[in-house]
Amino acid sequence: MKLKKQVTVCGGAIFCVAVFSLYLMLDRVQHDPARRQNAGNFPRSQISVLQNRIEQLEQLLEENHQIISHIKDSVLELTENGGGGGGAVGAGATGGQLPFRNNNGSWIIPFDIRSSFLSVMPQDCQFALGSHEEQSDLKMLNIYSILKFDNMDGGVWKQGFDITYNTNEWDNEPLQIFVLPHSHNDPGWVKTFDKYYLDQTQHIFNNMVVKLAEDPRRKFIWSEISFFAKWWESVDSKKQEAMRKLILGGQLEMVTGGWVMTDEANAHYFAMIDQLIEGHQWLKKNIGVTPRSGWAVDPFGHSPTMAYLLKKSKFTSMLIQRVHYSVKKHFSATHSLEFMWRQAWAPDSSTDIFCHMMPFYSYDIPHTCGPDPKVCCQFDFKRLPGGRVNCPWKIPPRAVTDLNVAERANLLLDQYRKKSKLFRSKVLLVPLGDDFRYDKAQEWDQQYLNYQKLFDYMNSHPEMHVQAQFGTLSDYFDALYKQNGVAQGSKPPNYPTLSGDFFVYADREDHYWSGYYTSRPFYKNLDRILESNLRQDPPHVSEIFFQGAEILFSLAVAHARHLGMEKRYAMSDYSFLTEARRNVGLFQHHDAITGTAKEAVVVDYGVRYLVVFNPVEQERVCMITVLVSSARVRVLTEDGQTLPVQLSALWTSATEINKDGYQVSFPARLPALGLMVFQIYDSFDSSLTMRSETILRLYGRNLTPKRFDPLPLKVHSTEQQDFYIQNQNFQLWFSGTTGLLESVKLKESQQEMKLKIEFLIYGTRPSKDKSGAYLFLPDGPAKHYISKDPPIVRVVEGPLFSEVMCHYQHFQLTIRLYNLPGVDGLSVDVTTMVDIRDQVNKELAMRITSDIQSDGVFFTDLNGFQIQPRRYLQKLPLQANFYPMPTMAYIQDSQHRLTFHTAQALGATSLENGQLEVILDRRLMQDDNRGLGQGLKDNKRTINQFKILLEKRATSNKPVGFFAKVASLFHSIISYIFGASTQEVQDSRPVSFPSLLSHFTSMFLNHGIVAMPVSPKKRGVPPLQSFSPLASPVPCDFHLLNLRTLENQAGF
Query: For the chain, how many helices (H) and strands (E)?
Result: 21, 44
Neighbours of 135 (CB within 10 A): 12
Handedness of CA 84, 89, 92, 94 (dihedral sign): positive
Pairing of strands 353-357, 317-320: parallel
Which candidate, 426, 465, 614, 435, places its Cα nearest to that of 1012? 614
DSSP characters for 535-600? EEETTEEE---SHHHHHHHHHHHHHHHHTT-GGGS-HHHHHHHHHHHHHHHHHTBTTTTT-----S
In a 3-state reduction of DSSP, which class is residue 157? coil
Residue pair 354/340 in contact (Cβ under 8 Å)? The answer is yes
In a 3-state reduction of DSSP, which class is residue 848? strand
Q: How far apart are CA 708 and CA 886, in angstroms?
A: 42
Q: How far apart are CA 739 and CA 720, in angstroms?
A: 10
List Cβ<8 Å contacts ≥24 apart for 329-335.
329/154, 329/159, 329/160, 329/161, 330/143, 330/147, 331/357, 331/359, 332/160, 332/161, 332/359, 332/422, 333/161, 335/422, 335/423, 335/424
Q: How far apart are CA 756 and CA 752, in angstroms?
A: 12
Residue pair 823/994 in contact (Cβ under 8 Å)? The answer is no
Note if 779 is an active site residue: no
Neighbours of 895 (CB within 10 A): 18
Helices 547-562/571-587 angle, 10° precision: 160
Q: How far apart are CA 424 and CA 494, in angstroms?
A: 9
Instruction: Read off the amino acid at residue 719.
Output: E
Residue pair 694/725 in contact (Cβ under 8 Å)? The answer is no
Which candidate, 890, 906, 1050, 882, places its Cα nearest to that of 986? 890
User: In sequence order, what are the residues at sequence separation of 6 or more whose Cβ sits closer than 8 angstroms to the Cβ of residue 109?
Assistant: 94, 99, 644, 667, 799, 800, 819, 820, 821
Which candidate, 395, 370, 372, places its Cα nearest to that of 383? 395
Indicate which residue of 263, 298, 372, 527 is catalytic: 298
Kindly state the DSSP code that residue 606 receives in the 8-state scheme. S
Residue pair 662/629 in contact (Cβ under 8 Å)? The answer is yes
Active site positions, annotated: 298
